[in-house]
A = this chain, B = another copy of it.
Amino acid sequence: MDKFSRNQRVAAITKILIENPNKIINLNNFTDMFNAAKSTISEDLVVVKDILMKLSMGRIETISGAAGGVKYVCGLSYEKSKEFAEKLCIILKNRERIIPGNFLYMTDLMFNPQVIHTAGIILAASFIDKNVDYVVTVETKGIPLAYEVAKMLGVQLVVVRRETKVTEGSTLSINYVSGSSGRIQNMSLSKKAMNKGSKCVFVDDFMKAGGTALGIIDLLKEFDSELLGIGVLIDNVENPKKLIHHYVSIVDFKGIDENGEALLFPSKMFK
């Protein structure tokens, strides 16, 4: 049987915990893997726990009982989160990002794994105590961010579609009114996608008036499910008639001024 040093066990345990956020891992997995006593593994876990806390890199929680074990819970310090939001503002202020119609091109950020990984940790950390069953998003641009949040919360991602697809089986569709354009839009979700009576958070790239979020609340009602939180990367705070008031965002967008400069600030999370 292979022998492992404490250093080696600590490295491997760290990797396994980090790769399974918010999933309880029974200590027997580690005692079997390393042919080590539970007390030895517990000491290894103290090392991991202490250093994550010391460096504000998330935390290790111990869950007692028969189904117990340890789990990694993601987190980022206030300072590092704020620094991330500030960096994002600088990147977004690049004048080449302004496109006809006074939109801000941000697709590259929504599909940049390093940006989305950090944003996902910040949003997930704000939902961690809600014990949700699903993270819900609407296609397309918010999918990687919602995926990261779902991964960090250890739950399934659900993607609401704009149109029904033959590969989805029976679907539930609703109409909703876009808060910014006032147009009626459609969203649909496979009946197989979600269990009845579920608790959800909604994650998206950008919040305008919040019509889409209201639509999600309606859609979830059809699944006897409820929305416990909303998180977006960028909040268009320029919009005066918000339909939704409780949500978290990372960056505030206040439109583009007369000099053609995009007004961007870390969100109220960092005030």
Which A residues lie at the B interface, using CB under 8 A? 2, 4-12, 14-15, 18-20, 23, 33, 47-48, 50-52, 54-55, 57, 99-101, 103, 105-108, 111-114, 116-117, 139-141, 143-144, 147, 150-151, 154-159, 161, 166-169, 190, 192-193
Please indicate the chain B residues that have their CB under 8 angstroms from the CB of A161 in the complex.
140
Tell whether A57 pairs with B15 under 8 Å between CB atoms, given A8-B51, A47-B8, A157-B112.
yes
CB distance from A234 to the nearest CB of B (A): 12
Q: Are A15 and B12 in contact (CB under 8 A)?
A: no
Q: Are A51 and B4 in contact (CB under 8 A)?
A: yes
CB distance from A93 to the nearest CB of B (A): 16
Q: Are A167 and B12 in contact (CB under 8 A)?
A: no
Tell whether A117 pairs with B151 under 8 Å between CB atoms, given A140-B159, A169-B99.
yes
Main secondary structure of the interface of A (DSSP, over half): helix
Please indicate the chain B residues that have their CB under 8 angstroms from the CB of A5 in the complex.
47
9 contacting pairs across A/B (C-beta < 8 A): A6-B7, A8-B54, A10-B10, A11-B47, A18-B18, A99-B168, A108-B156, A143-B144, A144-B157
Task: Give Cα distance in the complex from A141 to B50, angstroms.
Answer: 39
CB distance from A87 to the nearest CB of B (A): 16
CB distance from A25 to the nearest CB of B (A): 12
The 7 closest A-B pairs by CB, nearest first: A113-B151, A99-B169, A111-B157, A8-B51, A14-B14, A7-B47, A143-B143
Please indicate the chain B residues that have their CB under 8 angstroms from the CB of A141 in the complex.
159, 167
Please indicate the chain B residues that have their CB under 8 angstroms from the CB of A55 in the complex.
12, 33
Q: Are B20 and A18 in contact (CB under 8 A)?
A: no
Task: Give Cα distance in the complex from A11 to B49, angstroms.
Answer: 9
- Checking B7, B11, B103, B192 against A167 with a beta-carbon cut-off of 8 angstroms, the contacting residue is B103
Task: With a 10 A CB-CB cut-off, give which of A4, A151, A193 has the most chain B CB atoms.
Answer: A151
CB distance from A152 to the nearest CB of B (A): 9
CB distance from A17 to the nearest CB of B (A): 9
CB distance from A135 to the nearest CB of B (A): 9
Q: Are B156 and A112 in contact (CB under 8 A)?
A: yes
